[in-house]
Amino acid sequence: MVNINRGCPPQTEKQFKSFVLPVGNILTGIQSFNQEDIRQMNTKIISNALLALTLFTPLGVWAAGASNTEESCLATFSVSDQTLTIPCVEVVMGNETVPYSAQLQQVEEGSFALTQVVKLLAAVESECVASYSLETGELGVPCVEEVNPPWKTESQGMRLQALEPSTPKMFVISDRTPMSQLRSIASDEGTSEVSQEDTKKASLGVLKYLQENGLINLPPDTEVDSLESYLNQKGLKLNIVVLKPAGFLILSSDYSHDVIIDFSAQKWEAHFGYLDVFTGRDDRPEIYKNKWKQFIEQGSEGLRHREVRSGDDCAVGEECRRLYTVRWDQSGRKNVNSVDYNSEMPTGPSGIKTPNGRCYAGCVAVATAQIMNYHKYPSYSPISGIRYNWNNDLFDTFDTSLATLLEELNNMGRASCEITGTGIYREDMLGPFKAYGYTIDSNDDLTAKGMYSFAKKHIDQNRPVLLWGQKWTASILGFDISTRGYNHLVVVEGYKKVTGSFDDDHFLYINYGWGGYGDRWWLIDTLADWLWSDRLAKKSLDALIPIFWTGNGSIISYHRQRANTSDDQYPYGIEKDLTTLHPGSPVAFFQWQVTKGSCDRLSIFAKSPNDVKRADITVGSWDSRSSDRLFENVSLPFVIGEGNTGIAFPDAGWYVVSVAFKDAVTQFSSLYAECTSQSPSYQQSVAGKPVLLNGGYKWNGNASIISRLFSHLYGQNGQNFGGEWPFGVFHDVTKVSPSPEKPVVFFQWMASDMCTSLTIDSPDLGYSEKQVKISSKQWSSSSYDTQSGTLPMTLYNSNVGSPWRVIQVAFESPVSKTASVTAKCPGF
């Protein structure tokens, strides 16, 4: 985890080195300045000062001889306690100088915080006197003696520069006026800094806003406990409102900046990290001033009259969605009936603080597995073959199969196990994502608008999103990473837009992967500012897309001589058919009735972009998946026949075909199947593998009701039509079989005046096994209607748009025996 694009610290007890001055807390030894001092300096410098400085040039750049130093003003830097003591500092404002003594404590390498300032009674004369310019924000220290062990001391000079040279913000004063505003105060131009009183009132207004919009869960007796201030590394002052009994708000301190930065219902621990790189929203100052005014007015009413909504829900009509992924952790266990999350990980290095001494499971594996659990996909490991007990988490336990998944993901991602955590590079996870049956849609636009749009698109399609962030572990949760570039992978599982009087706020719900700790709604502007603070770090939003049903078609060739060839839909459903592929990882199905000599070869092809090329094609009998043949990772177009399947097709035999794409499909396209005289493609098939779909389902088969092309034959005896009549026309059948997965089957229905409804049933199953979820849609649509119930269930034709509809029948639980699933028009 020494690389900024790697890493994944767990939740630990380490402390983050931060410096914060609570309002009203006077530091020991700081001289308090009165109004006369202020007038003398023609500026405003009072008690509780905090000077945050960074080395402009490293210690030891300039050597300084003993003749250049005077003992009374010689600055010293202690190696042992990392303290820089400057006995004499002249603060220069125009032509005036005021002398001080200053002591600075090193906060991190190259960065100092002022811990003591004392005004001197008289000016000093010395070649070694330090000077601080209020105009430039520069601190010059001509002479510094580095105090090492007794046998070695060095005399040197150094110069320290403000964190932001162009806009120096060096002091935090009693009312926390940023240094950049001192000149405007001196010239009576006024200040835009929010007063303590307005901050307290606004915090109550913000609490109302958050609770009324379902963004935070707080107990009814919540109140403001204290107010703290923090000057970050960008020189921006932030106000921290600590709540009682728990929770906090982080607000800006400037009327021209947007009000809300962050908030949480969890305990405030005075750890920052991400706040250090926050620059604040000041792009629309007039709007933000109005928002401040609104929050202050609302806060003036107090918290007595507030509407409290759950922080987990979405209101009717609100642009909002939550998907609710599981809350797993990197070590420890969910409860006494669970195994440790890292129980299958190897033994960790000496000093690791996991309860069982094993490596942390790591944020990458945990976040990825949480999304796999949401999709209940895949059913078993492509590495070890172990079946994942996805449903076990419904009973609030975590078992060995899921711990094995975490271990396998770490192995495949070539994880590094260290004392502070287990890390994986994003690039090393692209292969494992694919191996587990997922394709990836990625987005590197980490602007607020880009993140919100990408997350909303996928969450609306029931897909949680992975966010690779920067320095997540230096957040409110207490990790000692202030000088290191850790990343953290989290799950984005919700979005919300809150429309206000002056501005709209957008939020994403983040699952940290720490067993629920830290999970909350994040204001997306804060998130974007933070992530973009380090342009060198590789960050991305990734949506893992499992294989999903996109549609199905029919080739009922044996009945073609009886079809109405004058129908404008002919020969679709008879000699050829097509379905629409939707962006993602689609799988399409066809039913194929073989006719010897004219339709005993089937061509599969796509008239589409270059990314619709490679697929796994499975073919087998209509009633069982046990003898399926698989053409693995083949290029389209591809021709199926006896020569490459090894199947002797009988005349009028019924077969089903699955086409699952290997790479992500990036745009809508069409997939075709049609009878052909071409020779079978030159690739032999292998034994088939289960076709698994998201949600924990296994494809069992598909069937067809092509009624309109045969409406003229409705009601006829059909004895002369052959034994296959009227299957595939006015009624059809497929089968489900026992397996650990839930079965799913598909139908294509061409409605007609003779078949305005379709009844689906599985008469051989008992009542408890006939619980299903039926989804239906127009053949090319990307959205479908879903209804849950108990078979038999009847669907009705809407007579809107195309006569073709495709239907998915997903059983709610595995079945105990092989059983028929039928679809029938009225009268059959």
Q: Which residues contact 493 (CB under 8 A, 6 or more apart)?
A: 322, 323, 324, 325, 459, 464, 465, 509, 510, 511
By DSSP bridging, strand 465-470 and strand 421-423 are: unpaired
End-to-end alpha-carbon separation of the chain, Å? 66
Pairwise CA distance, residues 170 & 340, whole Å: 48
Pairwise CA distance, residues 242 & 557, whole Å: 73
Q: Domain residues of the chain, as ranges?
A: 25-173, 196-305, 546-824
pTM, 2 dp: 0.66
Question: Are 658 and 553 contacting, i.e. CB atoms less than 8 angstroms apart?
Answer: no
Pairwise CA distance, residues 546 & 286, whole Å: 46
Pairwise CA distance, residues 150 & 545, whole Å: 64
Closest CA to 398 of 455, 461, 335, 445: 335
Question: Are 556 and 654 contacting, i.e. CB atoms less than 8 angstroms apart?
Answer: no
pLDDT of 329: 93
Query: Which value, in Å, is the radius of gyration of the alpha carbons in the chain?
Result: 34
What DSSP string runs through 133-169? Answer: ETTT-EEEEEEEEEE-STT-EEEEEEEEEESSTTS--
Q: Which residues contact 682 (CB under 8 A, 6 or more apart)?
A: 644
pLDDT of 558: 65
755 φ, ψ (degrees, to nearest 5)? -140, 75
Helix (H) or strand (E) holding 89: strand 83-93
pLDDT of 540: 77
Pairwise CA distance, residues 181 & 177, whole Å: 7
Pairwise CA distance, residues 32 & 51, whole Å: 15
pLDDT of 402: 92
pLDDT of 811: 95
Question: Are 510 and 325 contacting, i.e. CB atoms less than 8 angstroms apart?
Answer: no
Question: Are 402 and 394 contacting, i.e. CB atoms less than 8 angstroms apart?
Answer: no
Cα distances from 84 to residues 106, 147, 151, in angstroms, run 7, 10, 20
Pairwise CA distance, residues 506 & 528, whole Å: 11
Tokens of 80: 């042992």
Instruction: Compute mean pLDDT per 10 residues along the chain, 828 residues long, and list them.
Output: 44 32 23 32 26 28 28 64 66 57 51 52 62 60 58 40 34 26 30 84 91 88 85 80 90 91 78 66 84 88 61 79 91 89 95 93 94 89 86 75 94 91 87 86 83 91 84 36 55 92 86 88 82 55 82 74 82 88 87 90 82 84 93 93 93 91 81 93 90 85 81 67 74 91 91 89 95 91 88 85 88 94 90
pLDDT of 803: 86
pLDDT of 642: 94
Closest CA to 479 of 6, 163, 51, 7: 7
How buried is 70 (Cβ within 10 angstroms: 0-12 exposed, 13-18 middle, 19+ buried)? middle
581 φ, ψ (degrees, to nearest 5)? -95, 135
Pairwise CA distance, residues 710 & 570, whole Å: 11
